[in-house]
Structure 1
C-alpha cells in the first residue's frame, strides 16, 4: 500500500539552533535509510507560511501498522504531528500499466 503523509513539525520552545541542526541531520540519515529500504518513495515541500515546517511524504508499507513503525523510527517524530491518507490506485493513472 502507499500512503500520503502530511508531516507538520513544531520545534519546542527553547530548543537551540545546534539541537535543531543535529535533529535535521539524524532525520536526513534515517530518510535515506528508509528510501534505500523502499519505505520512503518521495518527499515534497508544500507552500509554507512564515516559520512553518511541513513536508509531504509518499510511503510504502504493507499496512497502517507497518507505516506507523516506519514513521515512529524517524527522529523528527518527536516534534512532529503526522496526518496519514491511505492511497488506492486510480484506474486512469497514467503510471499504471495498460489493462
Structure 2
C-alpha cells in the first residue's frame, strides 16, 4: 500500500541549534535508509507556517501498522505530528 504522510515538525522552544542539527542529520540518514529499503518513495516541501517545518512523504508499507513502525523509527518524530492518508490506485492514473 501507499500512504501520503503530512509531517509537521515543531521544534520545542529553547532547543539548541546543535541539538536541532544533530537530529536533522540523523533524520537525513534514516530517510536514506528507508528509501533504500523501499519504504520511502518521495518527499516534498508544501507551504508551512512560521516556526514549523512541513514535509509530505510518499511511503510504501504492507499496512498502517507497518507504516507506523517506519514513522516511529524517524528521529524527528519526537517533535512531529503526522497525518496519514492511505492511497489507492485511480483508474485514470496516467502513470499506470
Does TM-score exceed 0.5, indicating one fold? yes
- Count of matched residue pairs: 96
SS at match of 1:3: strand
| TM-aligned CA deviation for residue 13 of structure 1 | 1.3
* TM-score normalised by structure 2 residue count: 0.97
- Which stretch of structure 1 is more off in the superposition, 6-15 or 47-56? 47-56
| TM-aligned CA deviation for residue 71 of structure 1 | 0.2
SS at match of 1:90: coil
Gaps of 5+ in 2: none
Kindly indicate whether the alpha-carbon contact (under 8 Å) linking 2:43 and 2:58 is maintained by their aligned counterparts in 1: yes
Match of 1:14 in 2: 14
| TM-aligned CA deviation for residue 47 of structure 1 | 1.7
Alpha-carbon distance between aligned partners in 1 of 2:62 and 2:24, rounded to the nearest angstrom = 27
- Let me know the Cα RMSD of the aligned residues: 0.7
Match of 1:40 in 2: 40
Kindly indicate whether the alpha-carbon contact (under 8 Å) linking 2:11 and 2:52 is maintained by their aligned counterparts in 1: no
Match of 1:30 in 2: 30
Greater than 2 Å deviation, 4+ residue runs: 48-52
Match of 1:82 in 2: 82
- Which stretch of structure 1 is more off in the superposition, 37-46 or 51-60? 51-60
Kindly indicate whether the alpha-carbon contact (under 8 Å) linking 2:7 and 2:82 is maintained by their aligned counterparts in 1: yes
Kindly indicate whether the alpha-carbon contact (under 8 Å) linking 2:4 and 2:85 is maintained by their aligned counterparts in 1: yes
| TM-aligned CA deviation for residue 14 of structure 1 | 1.1
